Amino acid sequence: MKDNTNLQKETEYIHKGYQSTDHQDSLSVPLYQTSTFAFENAEQGARRFAGEEAGGVYSRLGNPTVRVLEERMAAMEHGEGALAFGSGMAAVSTILVHLTKSGDHILCTRGIYGCTFGFLNILKEKYNISHDLEVLTTEEEIEAAIKPNTVCIYIETPINPTMEIVDIALITKVAKKHGIRVVVDNTFSSPYLQNPLKLGADFVLHSATKYINGHGDVIAGIVVGKQKEEIEAIRFSVQKDFGGIISPFDAWLLIRGLKTLHVRMERHTKNAEEVLAYLKTVPSVENIYYPFDPNNPQYEIAKKQMSAGGGLISFTVKGGMKSAQKLMNELKLIKIAVSLGDAETLIQHPTTMTHSVVPEKERLEMGITDGLLRLSIGLENPIDLIEDLKQAISQL
């Protein structure tokens, strides 16, 4: 693609970071399925290893297919550099290891993904890196939660699976006063609906398995940063030595997925809005959590930092775990599965699935009750989704 800084975001999703004339005029980004790269001579190999000359060395350190994905993701999130990983948790663990050392403290939002919770406990138990899960809704609450050794504030918004909204601009405002870095897990929104770096965050990450890919056939993660030099430093330190890299084929699949991200997110959102309207009519549904629900007490914050509500709805049913599992078992079209962002609509029970690692006390403090279900709305016709939910709910 010829240099053009005035492209709209939907166009960048399809073209950014790729020049076909550099790849024998291939319209599709080629898949460089190679582990290593040959040098013309020994001196060139030495220069590349010393960082004095650009070019391929070894695919753990960089790959042409992966670089297209990284450049595209950096553009989408308004960052200067990006790193692609073999999983979302590889992205989470890499950025937290980069930002911390023994004795440091990480401040987190009250709710976080179950495996992130598990990784934070590993840091605490093995490496003396502590953390706290706190309600961070006001400036006073954030200030009170910061400790002298706090080096990072790690947030999800919307929070998995309660869909709570965290005010990114408020978090970054307070963090900057204390010289604290801010990391935002943006998986639930995707870059199409929310851009945390524009709101002051230092790093944004994704489980690219979800909306970035969109087809349920890749496990991957992404980190985007404000400073290219720092991203490259992470590439040649933590990522290189931990080895949590993405395969070229998976990167190629993500590039394919990104081309339709904007179209998919609009359909996910439209379908979710119709399902939301139905759920509001169901007497056995006690609570519904959706960012752009006008009845959501955090609706105004959501509108301030998101362009739409997205494709995820969480809700609780009367009767607790028994009713929640009964509802799932009666579904005929909607699939019982973890993950999200696929073309297929998926439902899962956080208490016994994605957040089963979280002890009951902490889980309930996060708002994850036994009757809570998380619904990832797919791309089907919403009439069929609603009919499936109706027949399942009628069995309760």
Q: Per-residue pLDDT tens for 330-357? A: 999 999 999 999 999 999 999 999 999 9
Going by C-alpha positions, the residue among 197, 221, 283, 258 that lies closest to residue 83 is 221
Tens-digit pLDDT profile for residues 32-45 = 999 999 999 999 99
Q: Where are the alpha helices (DSSP H) in the chain?
A: 9-15, 42-49, 64-76, 88-99, 114-127, 139-145, 168-178, 190-193, 228-234, 240-242, 248-258, 261-279, 299-305, 320-330, 360-365, 382-393
Question: CA-based angle 351:354:357, to the nearest 5?
Answer: 75
CA atoms of 200 and 182, how far apart (whole Å) = 8
Catalytic residues: 60, 113, 185, 210
Q: Domain 9-30+62-258 belongs to what topology?
A: Aspartate Aminotransferase; domain 2 (3.40.640)
Q: Which two tokens stand for residue 358?
A: 């979280």
Q: What is the pLDDT of residue 4?
A: 57
Q: What pTM was computed for the model?
A: 0.94
Rounded average pLDDT over 103-123 = 95
What's the pLDDT score for residue 24? 77
pLDDT at 113 over 60: yes
Structural domain spans, the chain: 9-30+62-258, 261-393
> For domain 261-393, which CATH number applies: 3.90.1150.10, 2.60.40.1120, 3.65.10.10, 3.20.20.140?
3.90.1150.10
| Mean pLDDT along residues 244-251 | 97
Mean predicted confidence (pLDDT) in 12-38: 87
Query: Quick check: 219 and 86 in contact, CB under 8 A?
Result: yes
